[in-house]
Amino acid sequence: MEVASPPLPTGPDSAVVRPSRTVLRLSLHVAWVLALAVATELRVGRFGFHPSDQGFILAQAWRVLHGEVPHSDIISARPLGSAFLHVVDFVLPGPLFFVSSVLSMLEIILATIAFAVLVTRRRVRDWGPGLTGLTAAASLLNLNAFPLMAWHTIDGIFLTACGAWALDSGLRNGKAWPRRLGLVLLGTAVFVKQSFAPVPVIALCWLLSHPSTREGAFRTGRWWRRLAGDLPALGAFLLFYFGIVAFDGGLGAMAEQLTGGLPAYGERLLGLWVENPETLLLPPVRGLTFFAIAGVLLALLMIFRDRAGLTGAVLARLLLLAGVAVVVGTVVDGHFTGASRWADVLWWILGVALPVNWVVTRRFPRMGALVFATGFMTSLSWGNDTPTLFTGTLALTAVLLLTDALPPMPAPPRRIRLAGATAAGLVAVLASGWAVVAHHDEAAYLDMAHDKLTGDLGTVTPSMRGIRTNPGTFTYVSQIRDCVSRFPAARTAVLPDNPFAYPAFGLRNPFPLEWPLPLEIVADAPQRMLTTADDLNRDGDYLVLFQTVSMPTLTKGGPVPAEVAADAPIFDYLGLEDALRSRLTGQTVTCGSFIGKWAPRPRS
């Protein structure tokens, strides 16, 4: 690759210099990964907060940390693998929400690196400044306008990428531990979200079809012993998860919950232009048309490369530049907004780059196809049915596949190549970093502009130290703290849109749902919520707060009333909150903008 430095030299002296150079290179890569994750959180991630989804996964992990069992104690339309993964967020030192955001950015960066390694077939320690810079830039583009928080889709991408990286390394090097680590990660991916169900199937096919595993198949005991160790690794998390749920008698409830949600088929992504081909001539989809033209011309040029000679090699690079310009233009025109369909266009652009690379190189780009498949799986979502969280990797892979199709040319001196690669990497990082910062400063996710984020939530609770939000949301979060202080109880719920409150304030939610959104209410969730209310009435020692301020109001900064009447209407999705309010027999209390039902701890 022209964007990477050449591999380390071999020769009589390489045995002396290689170890120290390898350690230095790996240390530099570790340094930039950690620095980028922390810097992104300090400048972008901690600015803006929304009480709903920015604590959803942490609230589920908080339950698991306290021994609650998925699907028995916790109703969920998705497997709760992410809840187990993010228990580590509570273990690491530092403010919970800040640390969790840094870990999520680390997941994004490592996933981007893993896919870049797979596509380029270059070890990270062999990367030069060009490929390093492009990968860092792609990591920032993968974040784009998304809030930096624990999220199941990020976990799925991370497990798929790093699992494939480890599996590929183990298969090529003949080492068991990276191969089986990769299988464990790939087998876990489906348990963070059903959309990643194809991942373990891909892993199994990859394992069985790889030359290193096919050799001697069905003939040697060694092959069967190896397979006997690999298959349990692929199913390790399945056995762990099913074992916990089955031990608690929740397999039936799990089946009802996981099949009871609204399915997602990716029809919006697949139908980008198929339903109306005229969109291929309209922005932003016309970028796909321009890229396809450049790709087809490049493929034709390479088919007749023997006749084209040096002129053809130059034209091929001009076509590459045209393809890169289309990719960059798609990112710029998209403005990081889902409505622009920029992520969908990038996915289709990669779909064009795959056959172009295949025709030119005469080998199927399997790793590029894995990226393409992961992009589709990423788009299977209720709220964000587009591969937005994967845009940087889609763009980088498309460019790398075109670059791989270029014919050789006389290489310039190493210093010139190094200077050009360094400049390209720096420009890419600075441009993508500026774009991400500018977009988040203009309007953080479900929050306000940077200069209006004046409330430091660290003054409300230490777990949110460093997180900034608008004055309305700051007041709202402060009111929750005041309420739980004034009306102490062993079990506390804040309904409906406040899953962050449980890990942030150390509360134990008695209800089986953290966030009773309409799409999250599956199987027998309404009846179990009402049954829980009856249990609370019987046992006492509870506080259930009902919000009167809607989430869109908080997004705009308020207003958040200092006090409301006891009979004020509460925010309700499907009538469930009103039903709970009527069913609970505790005394009615008011606290800031919240109305509550409180049954104090019985005196002994």
Domain edges within the chain: 267-409, 470-599
Enumerate residues 6+ apart whose C-beta is below 8 A from 561.
548, 549, 592, 593
User: Measuring CA to CA, how many Å separate 323 from each of 198, 288, 295, 399, 562?
Assistant: 30, 10, 7, 7, 56
Mean pLDDT, residues 103-113 = 98
Give, to the nearest 10 degrees, the angle between helix 14-40 and helix 96-120: 140
For the chain, percent of residues with pLDDT exceeding 90: 84
Name beta bridge partners: 469.
Answer: 455
**Rounded Cα gap, residues 196 and 378, in angstroms:** 8
pLDDT of 560 reads: 97
Judge whether residue 485 has pLDDT over 80. yes
DSSP classification of residue 410: P
**Rounded Cα gap, residues 493 and 508, in angstroms:** 8
**Rounded Cα gap, residues 339 and 479, in angstroms:** 35
**Rounded Cα gap, residues 174 and 377, in angstroms:** 30
CB neighbour burial string for 352-382, b if at least 16 within 10 angstroms, e if fewer: bbbebbbbbeeeebebbbbbbebbbbbbbbe
Give the confidence band of 464 by pLDDT, cuts at 50, 70, 90.
very high
CB neighbour burial string for 164-193, b if at least 16 within 10 angstroms, e if fewer: bbbbbbbbeeeeeebbbbbbbbbbbbbbbb
Residue 151: CB atoms within 10 Å: 23
DSSP classification of residue 174: T
Judge whether residue 18 has pLDDT over 80. no
The predicted model scores a pTM of 0.94
Mean pLDDT, residues 287-301 = 95
Could you tell me if 182 and 169 are in contact, meaning their C-beta atoms sit under 8 angstroms apart? yes
pLDDT of 132 reads: 97
Computed over every residue of the chain, the mean pLDDT equals 93
pLDDT of 82 reads: 98
Judge whether residue 7 has pLDDT over 50. no
Reading the block at residue 596, the tokens are: 């509550």
DSSP classification of residue 42: I
**Rounded Cα gap, residues 168 and 159, in angstroms:** 14
The whole-angstrom distance between residue 507's C-alpha and the CA centroid of its chain comes to 26
